[in-house]
Structure 1
Amino acid sequence: MTDCGSRYYLTINKRCVKVPVALSSMAGITDASYALLRKENIGIAFIGGFSVDEPTMNAGAKMADEGRHEFICGDPVSCIRDEVKKFEGSDVICGINIRGTSPKSYLDVYSAVGKDVIYEVDAHCRQEAMINAGAGEYLLKNTDTLADIVRALNEAGAYVSVKFRAGVSSNDSSLARLLWKAGADILHVDLMDFGSSKLKEIRNSCPLKIIANNSMNTFERVKEMFSHGADMVSLARNADNETLERLRVSIEEYADESGWYNAPKQLCRGGDLRGLAFCCMPIKQCPLIPALKKTGMSPKKFHDLKVSLAENTPLSSGESTCFGSLVWCCKSSTPCMFRDISLKQAGLSHQEYMRLKRRLSEGIIEKVFDERSEEESC
C-alpha cells in the first residue's frame, strides 16, 4: 500500500496528512466523537467553534437561546483540552476552531493545550451576536485585530489557520498577504458564491497552505479546486461517511494515477503560479510573460532559476524535447511525443515526471514569494 508521504507529500504541523480532506467546524456538532466516527476518511478535523472569552461566550449563549446549536462550556479551555485528548492515538490531525476577541483569548487556550493541534481563528461566523461581540466576520472588517491574533499565536509557537468567507473582506488578495505576513500557516477559505477564479487569486497572493470549503461533495468539484490552488478541501453539512469515502477513494486513485494530486492547470490554460513548472522558455508572447511581470521576475531570472532547480535531476535531460530539457516540458496530461520519448530514454514514468515537476514548482514558488517578501519589506 502506498503511504501518505509518497502519495500526497503533504505535511501539516509536522505531521503527514493521510488524505487531503478535512472536517470543517459546525457549532454544536463537530466535536471529537463526531470526527472520530469519520476517521478513516479524513486527514484533519477542525472541532468547534468554541467561544473562549466573556464576549463570545455571552454571544454564544444568546445564539443558543435563539435556537442555534452551540458548544456551551462553563470552562471552555478545559472543555477543549478534554476534546483534544480524545484524538490521542488517532492519525487524524486535530484543529480547534476558536471564537475570541483578543490575542489573549487565543493564547490562554494555547498555553493550556500546547503545540500538537492547529489553532484556527474563526473569522467566519456571521451571526449578529458574534459580530457585535468582536469576533467572527468582525475580524475581516478589523484586520489589525485579526493580524494581532495571528501574530501572537505564531510568536508563541502555534500552528495557525484562519477560517474566512471569500468576498467579505474588501480585498481577498490583500487579506491573504496580511495573514501570511502575520504568521498564518493555513487559509481555510469558504468560497461560498465564488468559484476557482477566486481560489486562484488567493493562491497567487501567498505561499500558505489553502483549504477550500463549501460544496466540496463531488470529486469533480474537488479536482477543480485542487487544480486552482487548494492543498486540501473541507466538508461540513455533507460530511457523511459515504460521501467522505467516495471522495477519499477518488482522490487516492487520481493521486496514484497522476503522480501529483493537486497539480495546477498550465498557465496558458488558466492555471495558478504553480503552473510555472510547466512553462516553456520565455521567448514568445504568451501568458507566461505577464505572469512573470506580476511576480517581479525577469524572463532571464526565470530561465536561470528553472535551470538551476533542475540541475542534477532527471529534468535536466531530454535532448529530443523542444528546448533540450524536460524542465521546459508541459503537463503529462498534454499529449507530446517528444516529451514522452525523452521520458522513456530517462526511464521515467509519467507519475515520476509529475512528482519531479511538483518539486520544481515548490522551488519556483519559494523563490517567487521570498523575493516578493523582500520587496514588500523595503
Structure 2
Amino acid sequence: MLALASLSGVADAAWARDGTPHADLAVLGGIALDDASQSAARDLVARGREEFLPADPLAFVDDQLDALADAPIRAGMNVRSATVDPVREAAEICAAHDALLEINAHCRQDELRAVGCGETLLRDADRLARYVAAASDTGTTVSVKVRAEVEGVDLPTVASRLADAGADVLHVDAMDSEPVVADVAAAAPDLFLLANNGVRDRATAWEYLAYGADGVSVGRASDDPAVLRRVARTVDDWQRREGDSDGVDPTLDGPEVTR
C-alpha cells in the first residue's frame, strides 16, 4: 500500500484527488478539533506555519470527506484533540463516509504539546488508548500516527497497547530509527503498519517493507507526481515479489486504484 500522509494546512480533498493516480489511501488534515488544540493551531499560524482553522472543525471533516465520495482512493482524516469527545464525534463522521480516523500522537511543536496533543499524548499511553477505544467503538477504521525517538516511549509496547484498545493501523514516522519498524511489527502483528519518513524511491520504500511494514506513506513529497510514481511502482514490485497481488489489508478495503 502507498498512502499520502497528512500535511498541516495542505492535505485537503483537492490534494487527495491529485494523488489518486498513484496512492491507495490519502490521510487529510491534521484538524484541531477542540478549543485547546485550535488555540494551539492559531499560535502555530501566528509564527508562520500552515494550519487548517475552519470555524466548525467537524463540519469541515464531513465536507472534505464528502468531496472525496466518488474518488478512487480511500480517505482518512488526521485529528488532534486535547479531549476525547471530539475524537469520538470525528470518528462517527469518518464511519459514515467509510473513512479512516487517524489520531495524531505525532506532532512535536511546543504549542501542541503544551495542551496535551501530539507527542504528549504518545507519552500518556492510558489516555491514548482511551482515544483509540472511543474511536473504535464507532465502527470506523482507527489509525494512530506516532513517531520514533521520543524519550521515555517504548514504541513496540505502546503499539501492543493500542492494538488491544482497538486500533487497526499504526502510522510510524521512523525518524532516523528505521529498524524500529521491525520491532513494532513483531510486538503488534495484528496492526496494519504504515512506515513514514524520507520515502522517495525504491531504496527507501523497500527498506521499510523489508522491516515488516505493510505499506509506506509519502508526506512532504506527496505533491510531486514523479516521486509518487516511483514509490507506487516500488510498492507494486514488492507486492509482486511477495506474491501478494493486491497487498491491501481487509481493514483498509476500498476502491482499487489503477496506476
TM-score w.r.t. the length of structure 2 is 0.89
Partner of 2:170: 187
Partner of 2:114: 132
Partner of 1:210: 193
Partner of 1:141: 123
Contact 1:102 1:145 in 2 (8 A): no
Give yes or no for the alignment of 1:159 onto 2:141. Answer: yes
Equivalent residue runs for 1:356-367 within 5 Å? none
Give yes or no for the alignment of 1:220 onto 2:203. Answer: yes
Match of 1:55 among 30, 36, 40: 36
Contact 2:90 2:101 in 1 (8 A): no
Task: Kindly state the Cα deviation for residue 85 of structure 1 after the two structures are TM-superposed.
Answer: 0.8
- Select the structure that is richer in strand: 2
Contact 1:223 1:262 in 2 (8 A): no
State the aligned residue count: 243
Task: Kindly state the Cα deviation for residue 193 of structure 1 after the two structures are TM-superposed.
Answer: 1.1
Measured in 2, the distance between the counterparts of 1:171 and 1:102 equals 23
Contact 1:97 1:122 in 2 (8 A): yes
Task: Kindly state the Cα deviation for residue 256 of structure 1 after the two structures are TM-superposed.
Answer: 3.2
Partner of 1:249: 233
Measured in 2, the distance between the counterparts of 1:261 and 1:228 equals 20
Task: For 2:199, give the aligned amino acid.
Answer: M
Task: Kindly state the Cα deviation for residue 257 of structure 1 after the two structures are TM-superposed.
Answer: 4.8
Equivalent residue runs for 1:1-378 within 5 Å? 20-115=1-96, 116-168=98-150, 169-195=152-178, 197-206=179-188, 207-239=190-222, 240-260=224-244
Contact 1:189 1:210 in 2 (8 A): yes
What's the CA shift string for 1:222-272, capped at 9, x where partnerless? 112112111110011122111101221233244335524899xxxxxxxxx
Task: Kindly state the Cα deviation for residue 79 of structure 1 after the two structures are TM-superposed.
Answer: 0.9
Bigger Rg, which one? 1
What's the CA shift string for 1:89-123, capped at 9, x where partnerless? 11210010000122201112233443411010000
Quick one: higher RCO (CA 8 Å, sep 6+), 1 or 2? 2
Task: Kindly state the Cα deviation for residue 68 of structure 1 after the two structures are TM-superposed.
Answer: 0.4
Task: For 2:153, give the aligned amino acid.
Answer: S
The 4+ residue runs of structure 1 with deviation greater than 2 A are: 110-115, 249-258, 260-263
Measured in 2, the distance between the counterparts of 1:254 and 1:233 equals 12
Contact 2:82 2:117 in 1 (8 A): yes
TM-score w.r.t. the length of structure 1 is 0.62
Task: Kindly state the Cα deviation for residue 166 of structure 1 after the two structures are TM-superposed.
Answer: 1.1
What's the CA shift string for 1:6-43, capped at 9, x where partnerless? xxxxxxxxxxxxxx110101100111101111110000
Partner of 1:12: none
Q: Percent of counterpart pairs with the same letter?
A: 30
Measured in 2, the distance between the counterparts of 1:106 and 1:166 equals 23
Measured in 2, the distance between the counterparts of 1:223 and 1:174 equals 25
What's the CA shift string for 1:179-203, capped at 9, x where partnerless? 01111000000000112x2111000
Segments of structure 2 that go 5 or more residues without pairing to the other structure are 248-259
